[in-house]
Structure 1
Amino acid sequence: MNTEQLDRIHTGQGFIAALDQSGGSTPKALLQYGIKEDRYSGDEEMYAMVHGMRTRIIQSPAFNSEHILGAILFENTMDRFIDGQLTADYLWEQKGIVPFLKIDQGLAEPELGVQLMKPIPGLSDLLKRAVSKHIFGTKMRSVIHEANPEGIRQAVQQQFELARQIAASGLVPIIEPEVDILSKDKEASEQLLKRELVTQLSALEEGVKVMLKLSLPSEDDFYRELAADPHVVRIVALSGGYTQAEANEKLARQHGLIASFSRALSQGLSDQQTDEEFNSTLAASIQAIYEASIT
């Protein structure tokens, strides 16, 4: 584990950019960026297009370590290059931004009010590759739709079981049990989730470091006490489908919680924009998310 990077994530001012939409969400991410499906054919062309979009974001002068602590990539981006450097090396060496890797393979079908992660075949090999490519940490997402105590227990337990394996490989896992913002009993789910997080954190072995990525809570500062746990490096918030303005407004009321936004970060960016338009749109987004993160 890189101690300089750990210190930056633990104490730095700023937020984490989530550039990890992949698989089924890639065409949607490209469409949001103004690239229709008739402009590429097959996965290879699609991933080349999405890497072009990510490269444009990362190389923008607005995308800098003054505002951004880390960036979450997906596997295809980790394996590609920017200006002849592996993406993770470019992020850290040229930008001073800490690289993370999304490792989950998507969600299983809903059961007991939650969606667990699908199995991750070849996880130990992926973690070895991530270490060799200078990735600092990982991210994995499950989703809570209903306040079902057993479902929430299973979701959090699955996250922590994998987190131990990830930490043992020398990486810092971001544990993301997202609570659906449209859930009818979101607040009750958050109560159950926090209780389960406390239980699982207290059972972690000494020295294991994790991060938590959580939906913006219904009650302000609801997760604040978890930040004091010695195992927790940082708590970050996902935008979860809120617009950037809504997400920032809610985030600004959470002390010590910083953003890890994807859709809310790239909102308003387009392939058709000139570099000047693109950079100024991105700069405005980054500034607004940064200000909401440092409260």
Structure 2
Amino acid sequence: QRRGGKGVIGTGQYDEDFVEHLFTASTHDYIMFFMDNGRVYVEKVYEIPEGSRTSKGRAISNVLEMQKHEKIASMICVKDFSEDKHLVLCTRKGIVKKTNLTEYSNFRKGGIIGINIDDDDKLIVARLTKGDDELVLVTHKGMSIRFKETDLRDQGRVTRGVKGITLKGDDVVKALEVVDHQATLLIAGDNGMGKRSSYEEYRLQSRGGSGVIATKTQAFVTGALSVREEDELMLFTHSGQAVRIPVKDVRVIGRTTQGVRLINLAKGDKLVGISRVVEPDEEAPGIEVVAEAN
């Protein structure tokens, strides 16, 4: 659909799921599942039930020995647990932690601890890094901070991490992205407005600061994604609408701007989620992960 459309309506559920993650993997690669409570499950690709290209697949709760009330916060596919790779985890309260990938090599079927999380906090995302990347955090109230990954020292799995950004009041972190100079940072607000900005708009700072304004709007930030021109997005509203738009329809503008309308919202409705859409290649084998609608 075009940017600014109203989308399609499902009866509380979305009529069509979509592929959010697509891994082209060999049978001996590993998929890491990060839970919102900080636990991590690791599965060999060959342990994931194989299906045809058109089959629906199985619920991941039937594959992993998940604990009650656990929800998947993030997923990463790796070929091995090499020393030259790192994992950066981020929580809602702005705690970030970098751990060498080798720390996860001794995994168990019942899961292992990936990060110690406070009772009132949740893990929101995990990102695979090279050790010398740059990171951007974006908060619910429209603040952001960009800092060097080297500001984070490697810590063990069973640790809490350090402050990535100083949050004001009841603000929380909504996104962590690795800076990609071939991409732009897309930020969407709950009022249906959104924009793309160059990463150069976000100056480098030291970890733990208050950051800078990421978007100039009265709305709250629903989410932020690192996107490229050829990508597509799915937008979800509280009332159950879903609209799919091409990223190229969202123009690149400055950091302290409101942006353009991504979706027309009915009175009282809000944008509650955004996801990047991955188009499966019919010729290439891969592991597809279908996004949940909420």
TM-score norm. by structure 1 comes to 0.28
More strand by percentage: 2
